[in-house]
Amino acid sequence: MMNLVYFDLETQKGANEVGGWRNKSAMRMSLGVTYGTARQGYRIYLEGEVEALLQELRSADLIVGFNILGFDFPVLEAYTVFDLRDLPALDLLRDVEAQTGRRMSLESLARATLGIGKTAEGVQALRWWKEGKLLQIAEYCCYDVKVTRLLHEHGVRHGEISYFNEQTQRKESLSVPWKPS
């Protein structure tokens, strides 16, 4: 059985605090969350445990996330000399964007496909960081990992996910080439 590692992280700083989106590595990780299919459970990593997080990611058969190539991996670049782009990864956002030509939110895909949404937004996690509310960040990040996992598993099982087309005002299906593990 493949060890799929579902992954998400939150940051200490926003783009406006580090001179823009091109400086993602300066945002610093507040915490990261993984769900490993081999262990059938979640793990929460604080910034001081980033080496253990990187080790888990390096040992995965496949890392699955939402915008991990465009956001999470660039944030982690500050912590390693290892090129994270060499890791086996499936970025659900990149896959959807490649097929539709549009960036869609995890929230919109999860609502249309699963009937569930997110519990908060990333800007709220930044506020929680500044307030020292790590438990709230951990809960939010764990839930995002769960939603990502459920969306991916649905796509694997059914060969498609759904989204709400704002132009037609209809829910539409999108074929996804995600293979079973």
Q: Which residue has the higher pLDDT, 180 or 62?
A: 62
Structure confidence by residue, pLDDT tens digits, 120-139 = 677 889 999 999 999 999 99
Q: What is the pTM of this model?
A: 0.93
The CATH superfamily holding the domain 4-175 is Ribonuclease H-like superfamily/Ribonuclease H (3.30.420.10)
Residue 78, classified by CB atoms within 10 Å of its CB into exposed (0-12), middle (13-18) or buried (19+), is middle
Angle between helix axes 134-158 and 122-130 (nearest 10 degrees) is: 160
* 98, pLDDT greater than 80: yes
pLDDT at 148: 97
Ranges of each domain in the chain: 4-175
**Mean pLDDT over residues 99-106, rounded?**
90
pLDDT at 119: 65
* 64, pLDDT greater than 70: yes
| CA 110-181-139 angle, 5° bins | 40
- Choose the weakest-confidence range: 31-35, 123-127, 141-145: 123-127
Q: Which residues pair with 8 in a beta bridge?
A: 33
Percent share of the chain, pLDDT over 70:
97
42 within 8 A of 33, measured Cβ to Cβ: yes
pLDDT at 120: 66
Compute the distance between CA of residue 43 and CA of residue 59 in angstroms, rounded to an integer: 14
Q: Which residues pair with 170 in a beta bridge?
A: 165
Please choose, from the candidates 49, 67, 69, 56, the residue with its C-alpha nearest in 3D space to the C-alpha of residue 138.
Answer: 49
Q: Output b/e per residue, 12-43; b: 16+ Cβ within 10 A.
A: bbeeeebeeeeebebbbbbbbbbbbbeeeebb
**Mean pLDDT over residues 6-19, rounded?**
96
pLDDT at 116: 81
Please choose, from the candidates 69, 57, 61, the residue with its C-alpha nearest in 3D space to the C-alpha of residue 96.
Answer: 69
In sequence order, which ranges of 60-175 are alpha helices (DSSP H)? Answer: 73-76, 92-100, 106-114, 122-130, 134-158
